[in-house]
Structure 1
Amino acid sequence: MSGSFANIASSIETELITEVQKVAREAGERLLALYSPAARPRDRAELITAARANESASSAELRAALELIRPQARWAPDQYETSALPAGEWWVVDTVEGNVNHVHGLPEWCVSIALVRDGEPVLAVVRHPVPDLTYSAIAGGGAFVNETPLRVSEKRHLEVAVVATGQAEAGQDGTYRRIGESITAMLGEALLVRTQVPSTFPILLVAAGHIDAFWQYEPTLPGVAAGALFVSEAGGVVTTIAGDPWAPGADSILFAAPGVHAAARDALARVA
């Protein structure tokens, strides 16, 4: 049992998360064996070949291991990446979150695993191998990086906030426009605006209080499911950009510290 969650030992997820951490660590080790900071793909063919090798290495044994430890949970297929999940338990997994970073020798890549129950993330593990970090969260039990609790920022004014956004998928022309307009809107309101891919890392920075808000249009579920639990368990606010409660299938998402959420929402409301 993870020491971080020892105070909620009555929760069935408390024992489950230790097993999920092990699965994520093992997948991360397989990816780490393929990783080199010197990697520089020369063309699209090299990039795709390396990315596929990563997916194969990480996926090996991962799905079978999760299905073994939680047989009643189904594997969320690709068709549910941008739509609501049916009732029940679902594993929502990105076996190589930040694959494009991995194949370019950048350290921002990870293994992301979330268990979603009836549309609500209830357990999440993100394994970030290069700095040897394991992020874990249980609904109602808090969020941690290794054994350190995560807590969102206490800032109360957007003008001193660091905010971020990023794309979810390629080929979304309408989304590109909204990303650009939202960055312009935020440049006039926030202290600093960042863009970053993949979404998991800026979301974790919100949960840890390093940045104050992150938003995304047309998010994919594997990119935000774990993060939604981390931010909410760290004391943050997770809604759509319009301010409605977020749920799988929503066409936008906004993660923010409570003190800047309303101002961030208002700034983004200018984008049609």
Structure 2
Amino acid sequence: MTYTSLLAPMAAAAHEVGEYLAGVPRPTAPAAATLEELAAVHRAVEEPAVAIVRRHLDALLPGVPWDASADAGLPAGDVWVVDVIDGAVQFLRGLPNFCVSLALVRDGEPVAAALHAPLPGETYLAAAGRGATRNGRAIAPSAGVRPEAALVGTSQPSFLGGQPGVAAAAGRALAAVLPAVGAVRNLGPTSWQIADTAAGRLDAFWEYGRDDANLLPGALVAREAGVVVTDTTGRPWRAGAPGFLAAPRGLHGTLLELLEP
């Protein structure tokens, strides 16, 4: 089975999860007052979504293990990296910025990815060496945008307390980038922001900290669209790196200089 042949069934899985999520009643006020309550609400929504994806992907590649967080590092061979609600915080607050994120990772490298945002009805797909699409059409990053006109995205991993120094690095980077670009925004799910960079909606995206489960799918979409994807020192990005930068070639060097300590 080729990487490209995986995309249609992966998209079908993401679409079914998206239909389920779109049908979940959306809160009009915060659904929980404590972290424990929020986690319980999240589990109640997440568990049926996980069951849908497992049914699809276990049938597609029987025996391939799952990793929902990639926190402990990725094993050799094939592994599914899945986030059924990337942007769960927004979802649980009734905001529209969330997506379903699926990636097949082989020996630490993403080789097939499907991202689906059910509310706008959009799907990004990418396979290693085969390009990237949104709703079936090839995508490409922005070209010729000067930094002062650029719209740049950023985000942070969840639970930063477990990653010492990441919050400080994110703060330094924001202070350096803000005066140099047109605008900086955090538009929700990390994987989707990277994919939107691949499609030219955003001009670049960066993040500090380890966030492999959210970065792997978007990294493949970006690479396949022709975006330069590195860590924040300029080396090719790999899972486990402490920083991430995706930008068109014309912007990448400028942003890298801003992000370097």
Please report the TM-score for the alignment, with normalisation by the length of structure 2: 0.92
- Find the counterpart in structure 2 of residue 234 from structure 1: 225
Query: Structure 2: where are the runs of 5+ without partners?
Result: none
Mark the CA change 1:82 to 1:242 in structure 2 (over 3 Å): closer, same or farther: farther
**2:200 is the alignment partner of 1:209:** yes
Q: Distance in 2 between matches of 1:221 and 1:93?
A: 11
CA contact (8 A) 2:68 2:213 kept: no
- Residues 77/22 of structure 1: CA separation in 2 closer, same or farther (3 Å cut): closer
Aligned counterpart, 1:102: 91
Which residue of 134, 146, 149 maps to 1:145?
Answer: 134
Letter in 2 for 1:255: A
CA displacement 1:147-189 (0-9 Å, x = unmatched): 2221101035322211121111222452111111100000121
1:56-135 equivalences in 2 (<5 Å): 56-76=47-67, 78=69, 80-81=70-71, 83=73, 85-135=74-124
Change (3 A) 1:101 1:123: same
Tell me how far 1:198 sits from its aligned partner: 2.6
2:17 is the alignment partner of 1:17: no
The reply on whether 1:28 has 2:18 as its aligned counterpart is: yes
The aligned amino acid for 2:178 is L
Q: Structure 1 counterpart of 2:151, which letter?
A: V
Shift of 1:14: 2.5
Work out whether residues 127 and 135 of structure 1, in 8 Å CA contact, stay in contact via their aligned partners in 2: yes
For the pair 1:223 / 2:218, whether they are aligned, the reply is no
How many angstroms apart in 1 are the aligned matches of 2:72 and 2:208? Answer: 11
Superposed displacement of residue 82, structure 1: 6.0
User: Which whole-Å CA distance do the structure 1 matches of 2:88 and 2:147 have between them?
Assistant: 32
CA distance in 2, matches of 1:39, 1:124: 33
Aligned residues: 258
The answer to whether the 8 A contact 2:97-2:187 is kept is no
Which residue in the other structure is 1:267 paired with?
258
The one-letter code of the counterpart of 1:217 is Y
Does residue 155 of structure 1 match 2:136?
A: no
Whichever residue aligns with residue 210 of structure 2, its letter is P
CA distance in 2, matches of 1:233, 1:117: 16
CA contact (8 A) 1:14 1:138 kept: yes
Distance in structure 2 (CA, Å) of the matches to 1:37 and 1:152: 35
Letter in 1 for 2:84: T
Structure 1 letter corresponding to 2:122: L
Q: 1:49 aligns with which of 17, 40, 48?
A: 40
Q: Distance in 1 between matches of 2:123 and 2:247?
A: 22
CA contact (8 A) 1:35 1:102 kept: no
Q: CA 1:66 to 1:241, structure 2 compared with 1: closer, same or farther past 3 Å?
A: same
- 1: CA distance between counterparts of 2:2 and 2:122? 24
Other structure's SS at 1:242 match: coil
For residue 181 of structure 1, what is the aligned residue in structure 2?
A: 172
Task: Calculate percent identity across the aligned residue pairs.
Answer: 38
Distance in 2 (alpha carbons) for counterparts of 1:82 and 1:150 = 33
Q: Secondary structure at the match of 1:188?
A: helix
Residues 67 and 143 of structure 1: is their aligned pair in 2 closer, same or farther, counting only changes over 3 Å? same
Q: Deviations over 1:22-75 (max 9, x none)?
A: 111111112122142635325225533321112112111312421221125322
Distance 1:77 1:149, change over 3 A: closer
User: Is the Cα contact below 8 Å between 2:113 and 2:126 reproduced in 1?
Assistant: yes
